[in-house]
Amino acid sequence: AIIELPLPVDLDQTGWGRNIHFMAAWIAVLNGFIYVTWGLLSGHFRRKFLPARAQLEWRSVSELVVRHLRLQVPRDPRGYNLLQRLAYMGVVSDFFRWLS
């Protein structure tokens, strides 16, 4: 075999699938850790996910919410709008909460 996985083989009852599942979960955890580390060191989170001051004004927020409720296409589809930025920051901060 090219790769041998350290999985217990029990022919009476197999927990083999569960062992593979939890082993694969570590790949996702490692990937998340690398992404968060890169995002902090490169300034990606600050540049892309922190809301701009203009986005936090009441008029801008209310216009954005109304456009979403009416299912209208965003005005500038290239960047992240306020709701997207807040959602992404929520996911990243939840990852930090999970680490502690």
- pLDDT per residue over 35-62, tens digit each? 889 988 999 888 888 888 888 899 988 9
pLDDT of 51 reads: 85
Q: Give the SS3 label for residue 85.
A: helix
60 contacts 54 by C-beta, under 8 angstroms? yes
Structure pTM?
Answer: 0.56
Q: How buried is 58 (Cβ within 10 angstroms: 0-12 exposed, 13-18 middle, 19+ buried)?
A: exposed
What distance in Å separates the CA atoms of residue 89 and residue 25, rounded to the nearest whole number? 22
